[in-house]
A and B are shown apart, each in its own frame.
Chain A
Amino acid sequence: MYIIVAGGGKVGFYLGRELLAQGHEVLLIEKDPRRADMIQNELGNVVMVGMADEAAILEEAGAARADVICAVTGDDEDNLVISQVARKRFRVPRAIARINNPKNEEIFRLLGIDEVVSSTDLILAALEQEIPSETLVPLLRLRHADVEIVEAIIGPGSPLVGTALRDLRLPEQSNIAVIIREGNPIFPNPATTLRAGDEVIAMTRSNLEEQLRRLFFSQAAV
């Protein structure tokens, strides 16, 4: 593939290096001549000095035959304009834009740039995995049987507190195997009621995981 990387900061530099290692044709566009020199010394003759948001530079870079453009400068507005000029003027099939302000994801999408990467969002997502109160934690997957064993923790504000299992609208191919309450396992029956802090271990078909997640964590659960 021919890939244009706009912006030779840390993200652009390492991205370019990885893409080259994978055997792609890469052109890195960097506005600062000294930075461009430095990259050239490291990566070889794959750097062009200029502003990637200028149509003339993109033209010189051969944007018309590029398969992908990655707009990875440090400024969201620059990345938007680079992606738009590449997509709309040069008909580049794919534009991937880096965003710094997660709120801009919606703006980019509304303005026609669908593929965005937000490091802020990625870090937030990683953090949320450490806060299981709002997500199903996958414990085990029995691949050959397509069965997933997951855990949900019932938060103090959950509408499910006080609900008996028989009133829970579980998806058909799933059941609750055990509830850990204050460190002790409870093997539940239909009359068992949920309490705040319960760790509910459920077994389900993989494709029903989302239904189960909604059951445990959306307000309209019961």
Chain B
Amino acid sequence: MNVLIMGCGRVGARLAKLLAAAGHEVTVLDVNANAFARLGSEFTGTTLLGNGIDMDVLRRAGIERADAFVAATQGDNRNIMASQIAQKIFRVPRVVTRIYDPIRSDTFAELGLHAISPTVLGANAFYEALTGNQPSPPPS
């Protein structure tokens, strides 16, 4: 699978390495060239400097050939905007978005984005580690 990842932070870089090691074709996009250091010297994918909410940058990053798009920058709204561009304009078959804010995550999940909220996942993991139980649905 051909995967385009926007945001080379800890999560983006780790995901890029996992996918590349599994034989997938990976391109990583970030606005900060220093971020690519996280990928290490063994990384076999492609890196590209640029902003993922710019359609020209996304084209240059090969979004038209991508099977999947991941938005994993620090900014929820930037992730949401880029993911919608990928999904609705470039018709990338599989789009996954990191959204920290659980409420916003719900809103855009309702609007058709596949949203992953590290806040919810993290809190649930802590809850489980502490109590040994799965948390019941959180109060909104």
Contacts and interface: CB of A to CB of B under 8 A. Distances in A.
Given A81-B81, A103-B55, A54 B89 contact: no
A125 B88 CA distance: 29
A54 B104 CA distance: 7
A56 B80 contact: no
Contacts of A80: 77, 80-81
Contacts of A56: 103
Contact of A88 (B78, B80, B81, B111): B111
B79 to A, nearest CB: 9
A106 B85 CA distance: 11
Interface string B84-127: 11001100000000000101100100110000000000000000
Contacts of A75: 77
Interface in A168-201: none
Contacts of B104: 53-55, 81, 85
Contacts of A110: 88-89
Given A80-B80, A103-B55, 12 more contacts: A54-B103, A55-B103, A55-B104, A75-B77, A76-B53, A77-B80, A81-B104, A89-B110, A101-B54, A104-B53, A107-B55, A107-B85
10 closest A-B pairs by CB: A77-B77, A77-B81, A81-B77, A77-B78, A55-B103, A78-B77, A80-B81, A111-B84, A110-B89, A81-B80
